[in-house]
Amino acid sequence: MSNIINKRYDFTYLFDVQDGNPNGDPDAGNLPRIDAETGMGLVTDVCLKRKIRNYVQIVKGMQKPFDIYVKEKAVLSRTQGEAYETEEVKSAKDDAKKVEKARDFMCSNFYDIRTFGAVMSLKKNNCGQVRGPIQLVFGRSVEPVVTLEHSITRMAVATEEEEQKQKGDNRTMGRKFTVPYGLYRTHGFISAHLAKQTGFTEEDLQLFWDALRNMFEHDRSAARGLMTARGLYVFEHDSALGNAPAHQLFERIKISRSPAHAEQPARSFSDFLVSIDDSNLPGGVQIHSMI
């Protein structure tokens, strides 16, 4: 693949949820994830990567070189077996060379490996491991969020045994958990040096930006409520090493309460103001607002 990226990028991504559960915690009965000490809502990087993978799969299908390695019901060793069926791997002189060639095949053909990296060091069909050029941190709400629990009723039962226990009353109760509103902020980093290792190209990068802009539009469910991408602010460096520390650039994106809604609980994106300080940017750094 050609046109491998040769610049560093750092970005801030904003998204919100209304009357939904953006990322349930299976260890807490699927309650929305919360920082217990501050009450801030959390969304894991794994959750966001899943949505990106799903978007790429919708747009590109399962056609290489944009196939997805970690997809629903996948058997990873079987997927890695594709690499061991190629002539390059079969003709490798030793095990170490086989792993290297297999890793190159996986990077070339699977978008999520090329983007996020993967650990593929399985006993069968070992393809080694690789660190991807794009890394994300947890999303964190800009204000504490409230988690609500709702009782719901189903007017049916699943089995005849259940019907007998209910004695004709086929109503069953359940629970649903939501956040009334939360605005979340996450950060990401794109390394040109790691892009060389996986073959991450300019085309891959544009697909990634498209995914961040549009992935919630194709991930609707009653449980997630209304989730929307609200801001994507990209700091483009003119070199592979970068021209300024990422945290200093992220501090230029400030979120505050709108004065007209400062005294009430936040319930929409209009309750906030987002300001971008683009004055006196470090030399060699540009900022792009992509949403």
- pLDDT tens column, 211-220: 999 999 999 9
Q: How far is CA 241 from CA 34, 177, 188, 193, in A?
A: 35, 44, 16, 8
Q: Is residue 270 part of a domain?
A: yes
Q: Are residues 93 and 99 in contact, defined by beta-carbon separation less than 8 angstroms?
A: no
Q: Is residue 4 part of a domain?
A: no
Beta bridge partners, 287, equal 235
Q: Is residue 3 part of a domain?
A: no
Q: Are residues 90 and 254 in contact, defined by beta-carbon separation less than 8 angstroms?
A: no
Q: Is residue 129 part of a domain?
A: yes
Q: Is residue 2 part of a domain?
A: no
Q: Is residue 154 part of a domain?
A: no
Q: Is residue 259 part of a domain?
A: yes
- What domain range is 19 assigned to? 9-149+176-289
Please return the burial class of 77, using the count of CB atoms within 10 Å of its CB with bins 0-12, 13-18 and 19+.
middle
* Domain total in the chain: 1
Q: What is the mean pLDDT of each run of 10 residues along the chain (291 residues)?
A: 89 98 94 97 98 97 94 93 95 94 97 98 95 98 96 81 74 87 98 97 98 97 96 98 97 96 93 96 97 90
Q: Which two tokens stand for residue 209?
A: 């930006």
Distance CA(133)–CA(193), nearest Å, equals 8
pLDDT at residue number 163? 74
Distance CA(207)–CA(213), nearest Å, equals 10
pLDDT at residue number 168? 66
The secondary element (H helix, E strand) that includes residue 114 is helix 111-116
Helix, strand, or coil (residue 256):
strand
pLDDT at residue number 113? 98
pLDDT at residue number 159? 78
Q: Is residue 155 part of a domain?
A: no
